[in-house]
C-alpha cells in the first residue's frame, strides 16, 4: 500500500470532445475524400487543451478507473486502487502510485503517435525527426475528430518516450472503437509514381482490415495532390504482416486484440522530397485530416476501403519500443 496526500477530489471525468468552429469541421458529406479547405492561419500543430490540474482525492473517495490522466497530461493504465489512489503503469512500463489524476472515460478513438523522446524513429535528410512529425499529425487528426464529435485520447502528450507495453495496456484498458498508430516510413524499395503510403491491419480482424483500407484510401488521395519524386515498397497498400508463430508481427496490433487497430505509415521521411513536404505544417494537417476522414468513414459508414495487397515477406527487425534506458518523467 502507498501513502497519498489528502486533497480535493476532482469530480470531472476527462472527455476528449472538443469544440471547434464550423470552418474547421470535417462533416460526413466530405468524408468520401474531398480535401479540407486550405488554411494559412495555422502554421503549427495545435496545442493540447489546457485542463485544471488534478488533485488528490480524500481517503475513501478514489473513484474506480481503468485509466487516468496524470497532472502532467499522461494517459496511464490503472492496475489497481485503494482508498488513497491508483497504482498506474508509467511511460517506461514501471508501476507507481498516483496521488492525483482524472479518471478517463472510454474514448471513441485512441491515437498513438509513434516513437517519442530519445526514441526518435527515422530521421530525414533534413534532420526532421519522425517522432515530432508523428505527434503533429496525431494532434491535427485529434483536432479534426473532436470537431466531428469524436472523443480521442493520445498515448503521449508531447515529445515523450512511452514504451509499447504501456501504450498497448492503455488501449486494452480503455477499449476504444478504434486505435490508430501514426508513423512515417524509411528504407523504401525504390521510386514510385505515387505515394508509398502503407497501413497494417490485424490479420484476423475484418474490422481492422476495413479501417486500414479507409485510412489508406484517404491518405493516398490526400498526398497525391503533391508532385514530388515518391518512393515506397513494392507492396505498398493496406496489408498485414505475420510473425513466425502466425500472429500479428507488430506489438501494437498483436497486443491490442479486441480493438480494431491499425498502424499507418503515411509517407517516407527518409526520402528527401517527402521529408521536405513533411516539415511543412500545412502538409502535416493534410495528413492528420486524411487520417481523421478515414476513421470517420469507418465509424459512420459501411464503406469497404481499398488498396488491399498481398504482402511481400520481409526479414524481422528490432522496431524499438522497449524499456531499455527509459527514464520516467514526472507524472
CATH code of 297's domain:
3.40.630.40
Specify which residues 105 forms β-bridges with: none
Residue listed under C-alpha cell 488513497: 84
Average pLDDT over residues 279-289: 98
pLDDT band at 233 (very low <50, low <70, confident <90, very high): very high
Residues 129 and 272 reside in one and the same domain: yes
Residues 152 and 96 reside in one and the same domain: no
Q: Which domain holds residue 233?
A: 106-318
* Separation of alpha carbons 235 and 308, rounded Å: 10
User: Is residue 38 domain-resident?
Assistant: no
Residues 73 and 186 reside in one and the same domain: no
The predicted pLDDT at position 55 comes to 53
Residues 149 and 235 reside in one and the same domain: yes
In this structure, of 146-160, 214-228, 289-303, 315-329, the range with the lowest mean pLDDT score is: 315-329
Residues 189 and 161 reside in one and the same domain: yes
The predicted pLDDT at position 82 comes to 84
User: Is residue 116 domain-resident?
Assistant: yes
pLDDT-above-90 percentage for the chain: 73
Domain boundary among 62, 83, 105: 105
Residues 116 and 244 reside in one and the same domain: yes
Do strands 85-89 and 75-82 pair parallel, antiparallel, or not at all (unpaired)? antiparallel
User: Is residue 326 domain-resident?
Assistant: no
In this structure, of 152-156, 202-206, 279-283, 310-314, the range with the lowest mean pLDDT score is: 310-314
- Residues in Cβ contact with 9 at an 8 Å cutoff, skipping those fewer than 6 apart: 55, 57, 58, 61, 63
User: Is residue 147 domain-resident?
Assistant: yes
Average pLDDT over residues 303-308: 97
Q: Which three cell numbers stand for residue 180?
A: 490508430
Higher pLDDT, 30 or 165: 165
Number of domains present in the structure of the chain: 2
User: Is residue 34 domain-resident?
Assistant: no
Average pLDDT over residues 128-147: 98
The predicted pLDDT at position 324 comes to 81
The predicted pLDDT at position 37 comes to 37
pLDDT band at 190 (very low <50, low <70, confident <90, very high): very high
User: Is residue 58 domain-resident?
Assistant: yes
Residues 146 and 267 reside in one and the same domain: yes
Higher pLDDT, 221 or 11: 221
Residues 137 and 153 reside in one and the same domain: yes
The predicted pLDDT at position 46 comes to 56
**Do 166 and 76 touch, CB atoms closer than 8 A?**
yes
Domain boundary among 89, 105, 121: 105
124 by Cβ neighbours in 10 Å (0-12 / 13-18 / 19+) ranks as: buried
In this structure, of 34-43, 51-60, 226-235, 248-257, the range with the lowest mean pLDDT score is: 34-43
The predicted pLDDT at position 11 comes to 34
- Residues in Cβ contact with 313 at an 8 Å cutoff, skipping those fewer than 6 apart: none
User: Is residue 272 domain-resident?
Assistant: yes
In this structure, of 27-36, 110-119, 156-165, 307-316, the range with the lowest mean pLDDT score is: 27-36
In this structure, of 84-88, 162-166, 186-190, 268-272, the range with the lowest mean pLDDT score is: 84-88
Residues 84 and 172 reside in one and the same domain: no
The predicted pLDDT at position 35 comes to 35
Q: Which three cell numbers stand for residue 271?
A: 526520402
Residues 117 and 153 reside in one and the same domain: yes
Residues 64 and 130 reside in one and the same domain: no
Residues 88 and 154 reside in one and the same domain: no
**Do 7 and 100 touch, CB atoms closer than 8 A?**
yes
* Separation of alpha carbons 257 and 260, rounded Å: 7
Domain boundary among 105, 135, 169: 105
Higher pLDDT, 57 or 14: 57
pLDDT band at 56 (very low <50, low <70, confident <90, very high): low
Residue listed under C-alpha cell 513536404: 277
User: Is residue 74 domain-resident?
Assistant: yes
Amino acid at each position: 500500500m502507498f501513502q497519498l496526500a489528502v486533497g480535493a477530489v476532482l469530480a470531472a471525468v476527462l472527455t476528449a470532445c472538443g469544440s471547434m468552429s464550423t470552418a474547421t469541421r470535417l462533416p460526413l458529406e466530405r468524408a468520401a475524400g474531398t480535401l479540407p479547405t486550405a488554411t494559412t492561419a495555422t502554421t503549427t500543430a495545435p496545442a493540447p487543451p489546457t485542463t485544471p490540474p488534478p488533485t488528490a482525492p480524500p481517503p475513501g473517495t478514489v473513484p474506480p478507473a481503468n485509466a487516468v490522466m496524470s497532472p502532467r497530461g499522461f494517459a496511464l493504465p490503472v492496475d489497481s486502487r485503494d482508498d488513497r489512489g491508483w497504482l498506474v503503469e508509467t511511460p517506461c512500463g514501471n508501476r507507481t502510485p498516483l496521488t492525483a489524476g482524472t479518471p478517463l472515460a472510454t474514448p471513441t478513438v485512441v491515437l498513438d503517435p509513434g516513437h517519442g523522446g530519445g526514441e526518435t524513429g527515422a530521421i530525414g535528410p533534413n534532420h526532421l525527426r519522425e517522432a515530432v512529425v508523428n505527434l503533429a499529425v496525431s494532434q491535427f487528426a485529434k483536432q479534426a475528430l473532436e470537431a466531428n464529435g469524436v472523443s480521442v485520447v493520445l498515448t503521449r502528450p508531447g515529445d515523450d518516450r512511452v514504451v509499447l507495453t504501456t501504450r498497448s495496456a492503455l488501449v486494452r484498458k480503455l477499449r476504444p472503437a478504434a486505435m490508430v498508430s501514426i508513423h512515417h516510413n524509411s528504407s523504401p524499395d525504390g521510386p514510385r509514381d505515387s505515394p508509398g503510403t502503407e497501413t497494417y491491419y490485424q490479420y484476423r480482424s475484418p474490422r481492422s482490415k476495413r479501417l486500414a483500407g479507409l485510412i489508406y484510401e484517404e491518405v493516398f488521395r490526400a498526398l497525391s495532390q503533391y508532385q514530388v519524386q515518391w518512393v515506397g515498397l513494392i507492396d505498398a497498400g493496406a496489408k498485414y504482416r505475420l510473425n513466425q508463430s502466425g500472429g500479428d508481427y507488430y506489438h501494437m496490433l498483436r497486443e491490442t486484440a479486441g480493438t480494431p487497430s491499425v498502424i499507418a505509415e503515411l509517407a517516407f521521411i527518409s526520402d528527401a522530397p517527402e521529408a521536405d513536404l513533411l516539415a511543412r505544417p500545412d502538409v502535416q494537417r493534410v495528413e492528420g485530416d486524411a487520417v481523421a476522414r478515414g476513421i470517420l468513414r469507418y465509424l459512420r459508414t459501411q464503406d469497404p476501403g481499398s488498396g488491399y495487397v498481398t504482402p511481400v515477406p520481409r526479414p524481422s527487425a528490432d522496431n524499438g519500443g522497449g524499456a531499455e534506458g527509459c527514464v520516467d518523467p514526472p507524472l
